[in-house]
């Protein structure tokens, strides 16, 4: 029996032009290129220019995704923007993106699940598209974490960067089989008992300020691999696919060691892992579409490939998505 599936039509990304190397950071905080590379795999990050906003990054990425999908912006009727660093407390930055793209129909809203934001946004758009109410969606992850970093705190400022990535999605009738194109399954989880391990120490209702990112790095690391593998095993159980069937594993790009350990625990071969963290650090909700776009543009991810996405972040939140490109 045929069924509506959410198919990816195209993707795009954007990184601000200013690159900050580990060596440049080592000039202002007590760190070194060697320490950062060895503990995280990060070599550089991009930082948005003064006045360059999350919505600006998102619009660049969305335009690139629309161009790669050969889709007219006017046919988009849903925009879900995953971000923890919106331009303003409200309105949603998604409406700025909508207006910036000249779109006047449909719905646009932000979604906040920190580093898991892109997977949560993908699952949300998938659910809405499969109701048949919406036809074409833009799912964007865009962040300016440079604005919420305490640049004097070496335990956090070396890890994050700014960027954006986007995908264009369309509801399409598929045969309703395991080898359908599109999103095959998504699994989302949260556990607020861990909220103090990774948070921002400000907000409109608590301090009337934006605040700075605070993190117990070791505690986050300890939970990350177990949570990631948990939701991926859910995806395998639901679909019947195994690690051997996966063509590409595109994880949230937080830390090379977390990615390596997760792939190893799941039995995913290293050559199937897409890793871009060295080039842009942890860009939170933007990291998965940035990595996806890299692997699509360099010819690794091709139509028909089975692609596994996962993310874990503040909250904690974590999630997986399995799709056929």
Closest CA to 61 of 89, 91, 83, 90: 83
Catalytic residue among 115, 194, 255, 293: 115
Closest CA to 12 of 59, 55, 52, 68: 68
Contact segment (CB under 6 A) with ligand ACO among 3-11, 98-106, 128-136, 212-220 equals 212-220
Catalytic residue among 60, 252, 255, 293: 252
Q: Where are the alpha helices (DSSP H) in the chain?
A: 22-26, 33-40, 54-69, 93-100, 117-130, 154-157, 217-239, 256-266, 277-280, 287-297
Are 169 and 6 in contact by the 8 Å Cβ rule? The answer is: yes
Decide if 11 is catalytic: no
Specify which residues 180 forms β-bridges with: none
Decide if 252 is catalytic: yes
Are 232 and 308 in contact by the 8 Å Cβ rule? The answer is: yes
**Contacting ligand ACO (CB under 6 A), which of 224, 250, 274, 277?**
224
74-103 mask for ligand ACO (x: CB under 6 A)?
------------------------------
Closest CA to 312 of 198, 235, 218: 198
Structure tokens at 26: 């080592």
Contact segment (CB under 6 A) with ligand ACO among 14-22, 56-64, 171-179, 252-260 equals 252-260
Q: Is 70 in the site for ligand ACO (CB under 6 A)?
A: no
173-192 mask for ligand ACO (x: CB under 6 A)?
--------------------
Q: Is 154 in the site for ligand ACO (CB under 6 A)?
A: yes
Specify which residues 65 forms β-bridges with: none
291-310 mask for ligand ACO (x: CB under 6 A)?
--------------------
* Catalytically annotated residues: 115, 252, 282
Q: Where on the chain is the footprint of ligand ACO (CB under 6 A)?
A: 31, 35, 39-40, 115, 154-155, 158-159, 198, 215, 217-218, 220-221, 224, 252, 254-255, 258, 282, 312-313
């Amino acid at each position: 029996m045929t069924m509506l599936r959410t198919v990816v039509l195209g993707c795009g990304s954007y990184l601000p032009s200013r690159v900050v190397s580990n060596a440049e950071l080592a000039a202002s905080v007590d760190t070194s290129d060697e320490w950062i590379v060895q503990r995280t795999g990060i070599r550089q990050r991009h930082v948005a220019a003064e006045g360059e906003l999350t919505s600006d990054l998102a619009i660049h990425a969305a335009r690139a995704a629309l161009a790669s999908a050969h889709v007219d912006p006017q046919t988009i009727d849903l925009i879900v923007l995953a971000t923890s660093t919106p331009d303003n407390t409200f309105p949603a930055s998604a409406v700025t993106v909508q207006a910036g793209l000249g779109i006047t129909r449909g719905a646009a809203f932000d979604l906040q699940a920190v580093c898991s934001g892109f997977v949560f946004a993908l699952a949300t758009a998938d659910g809405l598209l499969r109701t048949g109410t919406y036809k074409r969606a833009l799912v964007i992850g865009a962040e300016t974490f440079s604005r919420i970093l305490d640049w004097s705190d070496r335990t956090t400022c070396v890890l994050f960067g700014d960027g954006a990535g986007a995908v264009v999605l369309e509801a399409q009738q598929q045969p309703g089989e395991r080898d359908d194109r599109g999103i095959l399954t998504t699994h989302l989880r949260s556990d607020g008992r861990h909220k103090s391990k990774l948070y921002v120490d400000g907000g409109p209702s608590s301090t009337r300020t934006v605040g700075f990112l605070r993190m117990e790095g070791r505690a986050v690391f300890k939970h990350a691999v177990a949570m990631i593998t948990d939701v991926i095993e859910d995806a395998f159980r639901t679909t019947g696919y195994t690690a051997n069937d996966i063509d590409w594993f595109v994880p949230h790009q937080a830390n090379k060691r977390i990615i390596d350990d997760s792939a190893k625990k799941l039995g995913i071969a290293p050559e199937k892992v897409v890793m871009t963290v060295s080039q842009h650090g942890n860009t939170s909700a933007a990291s998965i579409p940035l990595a996806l776009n890299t692997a699509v543009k360099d010819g690794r991810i091709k139509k028909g490939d089975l692609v596994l996405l996962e993310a874990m972040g503040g909250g904690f939140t974590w999630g997986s998505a399995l799709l056929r490109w």
